[in-house]
Amino acid sequence: MCQSLEMGFNMVKEYELQGLACANCAGKIERDVGKLDGITQATINIATGLLQLTINDNYSGDMYTNITRIVDKHEPDVHVIEKVKGIRKTDIDNTDKLKVIRLIVGLSSLVTGLVMYWFTDINELIPTMLFIFTYILTGTGILLLAAKNIIRGKVFDENFLMSIATIGAFIIGEYADAAMIMLFYQTGTYIQNLAVLKSKRNITELMDIRPDYANLQTDGEVKKVAPETVSTGEIIVVKPGEKIPLDGVIITGESMLDTTALTGESVPRKVSSSDTVLSGCVNLNGVLEIRVTQTFGESTASKIVDLVENAASKKAPSENFITKFAHYYTPVVVSLAVLVAVIPPLLFSGIWDEWLRRGLIFLVISCPCALVISIPLSFFGGLGGASRKGILIKGSNYLEALSSLDMVVFDKTGTLTKGVFKVTAIKPSNGFSEDDLLKTAAHAEAFSSHPIALSILHEYGKPINKAALTEYNEIAGYGVSVSLCGNAVLAGNCKLMNKMGVAFDDIQSIDTKVYVAMDSVYMGYIVISDELKPDSYNVVAELKALGVSKTIMLTGDNPQIAGAIASELKLDDVYAGLLPHEKAEKAEMLISQKRPQSKLAFVGDGINDAPVLAIADIGVAMGALGSDAAIEAADVVLMTDEPSKLADAVRIARFTKRIVWQNIALALGIKAVFMILGTMGIASLWEAVFADVGVALLAILNAMRVK
């Protein structure tokens, strides 16, 4: 079975198109598959050869057969493989030895013919026969494919264009040109396909952190098996230098782990018995026995790889523009070729052969492959490169959006601060002791999972008699109320005390304070301290250096604490004392204030801040290594607790977009130059072929710089 995920009434299925290297053909396959009844969306990731379909419940028929029929229509040599979830893909090596031999023989024949034609007095018939032989040897496949496609109603593809261009050259008696065009085109296409496959492998290897095997321990023996075959609860052994194949918990052993592939961090992490370890990390020294907690398909490494692979299905505006542009570009250029070949001789009594030659140059350079292949490769390289730095970007659209980032909104706790709270002072009042105050506060916070509550429970350090607690109520943005042995206990911020009408001492300091009252009698307050992350100073400065105009903090903490932190970090603005719904309202207000075409990012923990993450142009989750909830909630996931990774993401996004527009300018610029030169009679047919294939190779090599 291929991968399928229920999505309401929709289902997602994935297929590998092995050997696919022609981006122009990929676009046509994508378009035709998308027209099938019941297909809501079809997207091809040219970098991985992955076809992803969104299918509604109206679909009927054999999916595999229909896809194979469409793929065979456009690319007969491409194989359609149903993708099995969690199993690594393989790429067919497209090297065709027979094709290489044909190209070598064709080149030898062409060179021999040219030497005879230029440097000897031999009868012209012999070199002409060699030119025809070269043409037949290298061009028969293209001519047959063009004919088949015309019968199928597929006109204006590169096979048709090259066939018309070379047949036109024969008509005007330019046999050498016809042979050179076909030989150069075939050679260039072959090299281009090799470059595409090479770049695909490089990028895929860059972000494929999944291991090849697992050492399974059974009956006292250790066997090397495929990770896909290991079940949860089984024991695996990881030796020094090996990747951890599956998520699990260490039973025995102690070691240092290289987490670079997951987090981009170069500092090894120490682990020992009872620690949780994630797949994709490399065991550096000790031998570890690990009880598996996740199957291969659900492991962290697989999720990260799938996330990066599927990210390319969310196309950036630049990609969508190029797809639409390519759809109209070729017919327009072909029309211009006809006009160039026909109008001047009719109006100005020109030489038909000469203007036909100039029109054929337009045909040669009308294939948009350089644009269509280099743009998705650039974005995929950016996504893969970001993942190696511990930055997961869930779509090319978000990668491009990051390049236009102008406003960044931060949550405070766990984002700019460490989120590790510690009780630093206990201040009783009205005759209560420190023990009374701490005990009452600990019982009040017994059911809360908030970091502040956990710090109080940790400080108390004794068992809580939860049977004595009733009527527990957590009031968002205020605190908690509970009945303790029949006494009404309140624990929270100053707003809670004011709301409940409790007279208390409102202490003015930048620390977090939990005020406690019993039966409306104020008992005192507990001081909780949180530290700023050292990295928080860096992110604000780096974002400012990148041209981000405003950095803002939204927090539920009191204004004094928030103001002090904002001042220390040199944030532009701060909104404090906010309830969860008020954070969302402030985010909407800020979005309305940002500059046109610019983007706003919200950086939070990905769980508590889900509403704001959803509202922001770009939702960024912090420190989400292994957190399913955070990965689901955000558009960008920073796998470590370093907010400065956001600045890295912006730099990668801007570099990627720069490469994209360089390739667009390169391809269109060179094609425009050769159109002008061809119209003026300066460029020859074979030079146009060389330029067309050459610009595609240059664009692919330029795209590879992103990784």
Active-site amino acid positions: 411
What is the β-pairing status of strands 422-428 and 521-529? antiparallel
Q: Which residues have a Cβ under 8 Å from the Cβ of 187 and sit 6 or more positions away?
A: 103, 107, 693
Give yes or no for a contact between 62 and 84, defined as CB atoms under 8 angstroms apart: no
First to last CA, the chain: 33
Strand order in the sheet with 269-271: 269-271, 255-258, 282-283
Q: What are phi and psi of 91, to 5 degrees?
A: -115, 130
DSSP state of 165: H
Q: How far is CA 62 from CA 37, 66, 486, in A?
A: 12, 6, 67
Residue 525: closest CA among 490, 564, 476, 501: 490
Residue 174 Rama label (left phi>0; alpha psi -120 to 50; beta): beta
Joined together, the tokens standing for residue 186 give: 């075939």
Give yes or no for a contact between 555 and 575, defined as CB atoms under 8 angstroms apart: yes
Q: Which residues have a Cβ under 8 Å from the Cβ of 578 and sit 6 or more positions away?
A: 477, 554, 555, 556, 586
* Percent of the chain as helix, strand, coil, to the nearest 5: 50, 20, 30
Give yes or no for a contact between 650 and 405, defined as CB atoms under 8 angstroms apart: yes
Burial of 596 (0-12, 13-18, 19+ CB in 10 A): exposed
Joined together, the tokens standing for residue 271 give: 């682990």
How many whole angstroms separate alpha carbon 651 and alpha carbon 647?
6
The count of other CB atoms within 10 Å of the CB of residue 588 is 12
Joined together, the tokens standing for residue 316 give: 């950036």
- DSSP letters, 213-249, are -EEEEETTEEEEE-GGGPPTT-EEEE-TTPBP-S-EE
How many whole angstroms separate alpha carbon 700 and alpha carbon 201?
13
Strand order in the sheet with 573-575: 391-393, 636-638, 618-621, 599-604, 405-410, 550-554, 573-575
